[in-house]
Amino acid sequence: MDKIELEKERSEILKRYRSLLSVCRNTIKKEDRKLIRHAFDFAANAHRDHRRKSGEPYIYHPIAVAKIAVEDIGLGSTSVVCSLLHDVVEDTDYTLEDITEYFGEEVSRIIDGLTKISDIFDQTTSVQAENFRKMLLTLSDDVRVILIKLADRLHNMRTLESLPPRKQLKVANETLYLFAPLAHRLGFHAIKSELEDLAMKYTEPEVYQTIVQKLAETKEERNRFIQSFTRPIKQSLQNENLDFSMLARTKSVSSIWGKMKKKEIPFEEVYDIFAIRVILKSPEYREKSDCWKVYSLVTDIYQPNPDRLRDWISTPKANGYESLHTTVMSRSGRWVEVQIRSERMDEVAEKGYAAHWKYKEAKPGESGIDKWLRRIREILKSAESDALDFIDDFKLNLFSDEIIVFTPKGELRTLPMGSTALDFAYSIHTQVGDNCLGAKVSHKLVPLSHALKSGDQVEIITSRKQHPKPDWLNYVTTARAKGKIKAALKEQRKKQAEEGKEILFRKLKQLKIDNTPENIQKLVDHFKLPAPIDLYYDVAIGKIGQKELKAYAAEQETGGILSYIRNPFARTREAGPKKETAKDPIRQQLKDKPDTLLIGDNLENLSYTLSPCCNPIPGDDVFGFVTIQEGIKIHRNDCPNAMQLMSKYAYRVVKAKWMTNKSIAFLSGLRLKGIDEVGLLQNITNTISSEYNINIRNIHIDTHDGTFEGEVMLYIYDTQHLNNLIKKLKKVKGIQKVSRIGKMEAV
């Protein structure tokens, strides 16, 4: 690189650094600027020879992460320093000891949490899952680790175009699986929406671009409608001398797409593309009454939908979100969502965790986000050793929707959606859970496995004679309940094993066998058990009795011949070669082939099947997934399971593409909806079989009160073939909607 280019880069680096200082001006003290400059110089020097995939100097990335940490999240000087240094230990020769020496223990501890794990993990575990668990483990010490990690992920998503397509898909799905829900739960709505939009840009590019284009095309019309809709509301609020501001927020692309899929409607039928937000400048003691006053004024002008009132002021969300939402009918016959909140509520909604701490001192007591953080710590304490189980527990308990239930005395309890009566019992107290016999929900007796709903009042029935049972694990969803039940069962097993140990020693004495560690291990091997404690437990419950022990003694007397006949590999288990798993030959074949699996190529001798969960067909963007027993399965990139597979098992994903072969037909399905017309079924089958010469595997139509819904499974050649058929079917009289099963069309 010549001198002119180097000077340009140095100038650009300084420009970006000054931009960072500019956003820090209002939140960081002057004396901290020296430390930030020191961290910048240190990071710039450490990364001086590094470049990003885009070819840019690597230092651009830490500066951008630090800027997001301040501007979007609201963090302070220590976090800026950590953001600038977050990749130094991982990517350079500097160590955590060096960071401690130059910047102190606090910075070093946060950097340690941010540094990715470089060890080699078991091949059944996703490295990203381990990274995520390590990051969360630092939460008990410092939540800034997670907040900086969110900033890091956001900038990586903003610059994802420089990575190869396969890597883009992996990172995008990982973001949807872990980081977007985490941002949502911590209250960073803007970051969550941007992460989801950026991920969708790579997981479903055609749909993303279509919605972006439609939003651009309807922008002017939307603006005119908003001005007309808000004019009478503004006038009414001004007449009441309320101090307010009003703005319109367009839904994110991913949110619009979510609504289209959920309701099975086209873009044009999504009525809440935007929402009107009224933000009041009210003192905290008057916030609630002022918000309800605005609600009254708005609903005096426009008729509200009674089913669409959401009161998160009386009962805030777990992430601290407070707002009053109503949906009203405009004079043009269009539904519009109106959000009403105070300035404080709006800041908490936009800045999430950081704003929560800003207002925490003024309001004593534990807030929703405090409870959430406490629940994280509970899960971390009782976490399973398997990282993927841990991630599943974490998502289930902390990212899921919530229900609100009440104790008999009216005390409110918040639980994850799907929680049972037994989960509720353990949420009260461990002893209440351990001794739970049953429950009464709204005064009716229900079993332990009864799923609770919001608004239920629950009374737990207990007995001192009741103790946890193994099948209880099937009745609970919360990590707290699972952890407590497992701990109780482990303790019970331990006590029974102690009793079994004494019984075994007595029986061995009768059989004249010494109870030495060697003989106990022989018994463990003979009965094919993992450890001595399992042997003692089986003796205690009678699974291993006098008969089995006598048979063992007889084998020993005959020199172990019977033992060898029963288990000829027992003695050579450790010495023998490692058993090859079903996926190993597939991996070997993949190594000898190009890195892209060609589907439909007759020369391809790798075994693969088309996954029934998404029924991919030629023309779909697909990937291969190496299973343990069923060879390679082909999934669509937008398969419902794609996010989880790419996030958890990225090392088992292989690139795949179709080889066009018109002689092969693939099974696919269509969902039809519309008005029941005479001869409708005949018209549908004629269009499919006669005009398009397509074989129908099966067709099912249900009619109800003049409307119909149906599904058709048929054999087609590729996506173009299928899309042409969809367009033709939409022209059949009576049919209003046609969509591919498992995939919504954006138009």
Render 178-197 in DSSP notation, one character per residue: IIHHHHHHTT-HHHHHHHHH
Query: Are residues 307 and 417 located together in one domain of the fold?
Result: no
Residues 310 and 422 grouped into a single domain? no
Q: Is the pTM of this model over 0.85?
A: no
Query: Which range among 534-543, 592-601, 615-624 shows the weakest confidence by mean pLDDT?
Result: 592-601
- Most confidently predicted of 12-16, 74-78, 409-413, 499-503: 12-16
Mean per-residue pLDDT over the chain, rounded = 80
Residue 729, exposed/middle/buried by CB under 10 A (0-12, 13-18, 19+)?
A: buried
Specify the higher pLDDT residue, 82 or 483: 82
The pLDDT assigned to 347 comes to: 83
The total of structural domains in the chain comes to 6
Average pLDDT over residues 601-624: 72
Considering the domain boundaries, does residue 269 fall inside one? yes
CA distance 85 to 89: 8
State the average pLDDT over residues 539-561: 76
Mean pLDDT comparison of 223-237, 260-274, 703-717, highest-scoring range: 223-237
pLDDT at 519 > cutoff 90: no
Amino acid at 51: R
Same domain, 543 and 594: no
Confidence of residue 116 (pLDDT cuts 50, 70, 90): low
Q: pLDDT tens digit string along 297-316?
A: 999 999 999 888 999 998 88
**pLDDT for the residue 385:** 47
236 and 170 in a common domain: no
Residues 350 and 334 in one domain: yes
Taking a C-beta distance cutoff of 8 angstroms, is the pair 549, 536 a contact? Answer: no
Residue 104 belongs to a domain with what CATH number?
A: 1.10.3210.10
Q: What is the pLDDT of residue 569?
A: 38
Residue 713 lies in a domain: yes
pLDDT reading at 607 higher than 70: no
* DSSP per-residue codes, 499-542: HHHHHHHHHHHHTT----HHHHHHHHHHTT-SSHHHHHHHHHTT
680 vs 650, which has greater pLDDT? 680
297 assigned to some structural domain: yes
Domain extent at residue 324: 211-360
Picking from 513, 531, 563, the residue at the C-terminal end of a domain is 563
Q: Give me the pLDDT at residue 560, please.
A: 47
In the sheet that 608-610 helps form, which strands lie side by side, from edge to edge?
Answer: 596-599, 653-658, 622-626, 632-636, 608-610
| Domain stop point among 360, 395, 421 | 360
Query: Are 467 and 518 members of one domain?
Result: no
Residues 6 or more apart in contact with residue 459 via CB below 8 angstroms: 407, 408, 439, 440, 441, 443
Q: Both 39 and 185 in a single domain?
A: yes
Lowest mean pLDDT, pick from 166-170, 596-600, 693-697, 715-719: 596-600
Find the mean pLDDT for residues 165-192: 84
Active-site positions?
90-91
In tens, the pLDDT along 246-264 reads 999 888 999 999 888 888 7
pLDDT above 90 covers a percentage of the chain that reads 25
With 90 as the cut, is the pLDDT of residue 15 above it?
Answer: yes
Which pLDDT does position 744 carry in this prediction?
A: 42
Query: Domain end: 479, 506, 540, which one?
Result: 479
Helix (H) or strand (E) holding 720: helix 719-730
Report yes or no on 390 lying in a domain. Answer: yes
Confidence of residue 288 (pLDDT cuts 50, 70, 90): very high
- Tell me, yes or no, whether 206 lies in a domain: no
Q: Evaluate if residue 232 carries a pLDDT over 90.
A: yes
Identify whether 578 is part of a domain: no
Shared domain check, 339 and 274: yes
Q: Is residue 182 part of a domain?
A: yes
- The answer as to whether 149 is a domain residue is yes
Say yes or no: 297 and 247 in one domain: yes
> Do residues 167 and 20 share a domain?
yes
Position 85 scores a pLDDT of 93
List the beta bridge partners of residue 459: 440
Same domain (yes/no): 604, 550: no
What pLDDT does residue 236 have?
A: 95
Q: Are residues 166 and 34 in the same domain?
A: yes
Please give the pLDDT value at position 396.
Answer: 53
Residue-level pLDDT at 589 = 47
Mean pLDDT value across residues 506-534: 85
Residue 45 has what pLDDT? Answer: 92
Q: Which of 131-145, 476-490, 581-595, 694-708 has the lowest mean pLDDT?
A: 581-595
Arithmetic mean of pLDDT, 648-658: 74
Higher pLDDT, 229 or 716: 229
**What is the per-residue pLDDT for 650?**
72
The predicted-structure confidence for 396-420, as pLDDT tens digits, reads as follows: 555 556 788 888 888 878 788 889 9
SS3 477: coil
**Tens digit of pLDDT for each residue in 327-379?**
999 988 888 999 999 998 888 887 765 555 555 444 544 455 555 566 565 65
Average pLDDT estimate for 14-29: 86
